[in-house]
Every structure is written in C-alpha cells, then in structure tokens.
Structure 1
Amino acid sequence: MIPLDRLLGVVIFFQTGIGVQGNLFLMYLFSFLFFTGQRLRPIDLIFTQLALANSLLLLSKGVVQGLAALGLKNILDDIGCKIVFYLHRVGRGVSLSATCLLSGFQAIVISPHEPRWIKLKVRVPRYIIPSLLLCWIFHILQNIVILVKLEGPRDTGNTSETKDYGYCSVNVTTDISESLHALVISLPDAVCMTSISFTTGYKVYLLYKHHKRVQQVHTDSVSHRAFPETRATQMILLLVGTFVTFYLLNSILTGCMHSITLKPWIVHSSAFLAACFPMVSPFVLIKSDPQIMKYYRVVQGRKSPHTE
C-alpha cells in the first residue's frame, strides 16, 4: 500500500499541474486578445488577475510541498523559506480580494435598472484597474513582515519553538505580539469573506426573482426547460461555494497547525486544501461564461492560416 505522504505528494503535483494549466490558459487568452487589439470586457481584467494570483499561489508551494511529501525534506534555506511563504501569502491574498471584487462587480451588473444603479454601473468599470492595483500593493506590503521575521531554525533541537512544514522548518514564537499580528492579518480575509457572502446572497436573490417573473410568462410547453437564470445561479453558487468551503476548511486546519505538533499528513493536507480553489476556479469560469469560449474561437481563427 502506498504511504499516505507519498499519495498526497502525487496528488499535490497533479493538482498543481492541472491548476496552473487552467489559469495559464485564461492568462494567455486574455493577453493575446489584448495585445492584438480585441475589445475585452471590464470583468476580463478581474479574471486575468485572479488567474495570475491563482498561478502564483499554486506554483509557490505546490512544487516544494509535493517534493516534501515524496520524501525530500528541508530543501529550502532561510531565503527560500521566506520567498515561498511570502509569494504564497501574496497570491492567496490577491486571489481572495479578486474573488471578492468579482462577486461585487457581478452583483452590480445584474442589479435592477434603476437610476441609482445605472449611474453606478457606468462608473464601476473605471475603478476596476485601480482596485486591482490596490489589492496587489496592499498584500505585497502587508506580507513584508514574513520576509523580516520568518527564519529557519537556528537550534533544530529546540522542537517546541520549531514548526516543520516539510520543505523547510521555521522558528515560531507564542508571545502576544504574534497573536496580535495574526489577528491583523486575518481581518482583511474576514472583510472579504463577509462581502462575498453578502453579494452572493444578493445575486441569488435577484436571479431568483427574475427567474420567477420569467417563469410566469412561459407556456407549459417550455416550462420544463432549464432557464439561463437557473444555470447562472447554479454557477455562482458553485464558484463561491467552492471557494468558501475550501477556504474555511483550510483556515480551520491552519489554525490547528499553530496549536499542535505538526504531522506530515496534516501539513500536506493543508497545502492540498489551499490549492483546491485555485485549481478549480478557471474551469468553473470557463464553464459558466460562454464568452470565454468565444474568445478562444477568435484566437484560434486568428492563428490558423487562411485557406483558399
């Protein structure tokens, strides 16, 4: 029987490869269209940055965590540990912020056609690029503390102050300043999660109301067909539900990791859960947004040679 650690290592490598390919596909698609002068939607900017953040999140830990699960221990020095943890935290933070921004943008787009909402719909696209830049700048600066305070163990025999993450070990402290820092780090996550939950509930409510109105005017002959609103609602629930589920499971497991002696399978399982949404999200977006496949056909048409 294959040991659990080895099995998790194979799964993490497979997960990283699939997720990176899906996110790179979106990045390549939107970049090609942009540089060839094609008109893109404002929401495509969010998709691009979400794919970039997800790729950074997957690549920063996926490879080293997979190697650690396969038996290559402590393969990074102090600088390597700093870079991996830093890039992972930045990617995770931007992915969360971009998902929050995406959820809010979609809520505004499908809002009622009232004067106050129409004005907001016109203005919102102007703020997408500044908002995305702010997300990157905020998380880049917020996580600088990792580069300053994180360090490999200087005394590997003192295991009570050392956490072994497989690919590297780090010294940890338990004073009140560290707890306060953890609280400050978690506040933006809590704000984003609250916003995502609220906007998702609002979107589902609007789509449900619209579906009921449309259903009333349909004849019995087509009453059993699937309405576009139903599919859109299902995709919104799938995307956000996937994000919230894996985020909460990983947060719970991460919290446990700070209070217990780490077992290898716990560390690898946490890395697997953290990478689930970045792996799944590009395929959910491709499935739920028909315009993405239209873009793909445009790209294929421009790259294919013309035949007589």
Structure 2
Amino acid sequence: MQKLLVCRALHEKDDGHRISRAKFFFIALVCSFSWYVIPGYFFTTLTSISWVCWVFSKSVTAQQLGSGMKGLGIGALTLDWSAVASFLFSPLISPFFAIVNVFVGYAIIVYAVTPIAYWGLDTYNAKRFPIFSSHLFTSQGQKYNISAIVNDKFELDFAKYREQGRIHLSVFFSLTYGFGFATIASTLTHVGCFYGREIMERYRASSKGKEDIHTKLMKRYKDIPSWWFSALLVGSLAASLALCIFLNDQIQMPWWGLLFAGVLAFEFTLPISIITATTNQVN
C-alpha cells in the first residue's frame, strides 16, 4: 500500500496545493537522509541512549537490563528512526491494532518471559551466556568455533562436533527461535478461526462464477495467459530438481526436500498473504 501511495503522489496531477507532491517527497527524502546520517554514521550512540548503563556503569545486571544493544533496553531512548521501525517495519503505515499486537507480544517476551527464564529459572543454563546475543557458545560460555566442526565440503564433522561439545544459545535467542516456530503454526490456526468461513464462501462463490469487487476491477486490464505461470513453475521446478540431483554435493539438499519445501510454501501462501494484507506485517 505504501508503494502505491508513493507512486500516486509522484505521478498524479496536483490539485492546487502550494507545493507539488513530487517536491514535497524530495524535501522529505533529503531531510530524512540528512538526519539518518547523524545516528547512522557520525554519532551512533543516538541509536540507543542507555542512561541506566551510564548511571550504574559497574553493574553487570544494570548493563543487561538497560543496554539497548546488548540487553533488554529498559529505559533506553533512541533518536534513530530505524531503531523505532526495527520490529514494526514502519509504525506510520501499519494499522494501529497491528502495532499494539506486536508491541504487546514484544513486551511480554522481552520484559516478562526472558527475565524469568534468565534470572528466575536459569533455563538452559542461561546465566553462563549473555542474556541477549545471536552468537553460538560452548558449554563454558565461550564463543563456538564453527569452522572447527565443518569439513572442506561444508558438511558437519560429527567427530569434531562431539569433541568440541554441543552448541548453546543465549536464552533470548533460543526463546525467540521457539516462539518463531510457534507463530508459524499459529498462522494456520488464526486464519482458520477468523477467516476460514470467509475463505470457503469466497471459494464457493468463485466456483459458481460470482465476481467480487477485486475481480471486477482487474477486468480493466488484459489477462496474462495462464500458460506463462505454468511454464515458469515447471521450468523453475525442473531446474531446481536438476541442481539437487546432479549437484547434490554442493547444494546439499535431497530432491524430496525441495518438493517438501514447495508443498509447505504452497500451504502457507494464503494464510501469510491474508495476515500481510490485513496487518502490513511481513514476518
């Protein structure tokens, strides 16, 4: 939707405004770029102003709680728009209910689940590792040497892996991984509960030849031949299968894995499309 609005603003005729839409867009672009250079290049501290860390500079717990880059970011401030939009994509173009939903989920995970798992339950020996980190660690809290367990063919060397030990994650990273898989599964449940009846009604209506408003609007444009899409699907699938079969030592994916991935993508296309269209949230 935001791309459509930009295109309309740049190409539609002005309706008597003092300043043209294209000129306003250019001014906004220059101003936003000029400001982003400050926190993004010249003064990166503005991305996360963690006053808690300044006040309690010698406290490890305060660093974990107050740091906006390596901790929970409690009390941290930012003057960098990219930090504001880091988990909402852009609050200016997303519906309010979607922003609230994401913020509530973010607050629960960061300010409730993560502290309880780290300080309260010591989940997965969490206190041995940083509370917030995307790195991999050994059981002693040292950074994991990935290159030591991978051979020349980029395959896992199980003997070296057993010698170095299991890979450990920070508690925040492991929890977000788990919640990420949960959100994928909940996508099907959410769409089925809230949009299932409408999907079936639309499907029955389309099978009977009834046209909705979108179909009527699209009739203004010339249809693309269906065989174009079929040829593209067959061609890309054949090329992918050929790579998986004949270059398996480099691709490292069996042919059945490719087909399975394609089936999963097909199943999630409609649910994810509905959520993206209604919330403007891609992930």
Q: Please confirm whether the aligned pair reaches a TM-score higher than 0.5, indicating the same fold.
A: no
In the superposition, the TM-score normalised over structure 1's length comes to 0.25
The structure with the largest alpha-carbon Rg is 2
If asked which structure has higher relative contact order (CA below 8 Å, sep 6+), I would say 1
In the superposition, the TM-score normalised over structure 2's length comes to 0.26
